[in-house]
Amino acid sequence: MRDLDSLVAGLDLDVGHIGICHACLSFVSFPLDAGDVRTARSEARTMTPVLWDEGLAAPALAAVRDAAAGGVAGAEAALADLEEKGGRSAVARAIVLRLAADLVEQMRAELRLLEVSRRRLELAPPEWN
């Protein structure tokens, strides 16, 4: 499992640019944000086929193909798993969990920025707004 997580962590996938539904991904990311990994894994099992069909397939397959072409350990086996089982594969679930974790980090960064911005907005004179 750690090898799969390592492989998936290195894939060239950006949660903000792969065109999947963030609301759907939030079923996985919200439990992760709360520290409930068990529920996140359960939701990933449910949501991965949906996300796969809604646009995850092409970027995930391309990223794993690139990794395989680059000689990344385990990428060829991961590609075979994706090609055989698609959104029901362990690799696809691992990708969804990684993207959900990325979404959590993105949400946390945006919340930190909002917090800092709100405090500084009070310092700006009203005529500057």
Number of domains observed in the structure of the chain: 1
* Residue 111 binned pLDDT confidence (cut-offs 50, 70, 90): confident
Contacts of 101 (CB under 8 A, 6+ apart): 29, 32
| pLDDT for residue 129 | 54
> Is the pLDDT confidence value at 109 over 90?
no
pLDDT value of position 8: 96
pTM (two decimals): 0.86
Which residue range forms the structural domain that includes residue 90? 2-128
Number of H helices, E strands in the chain: 6, 0
End-to-end Cα, the chain, rounded Å: 51
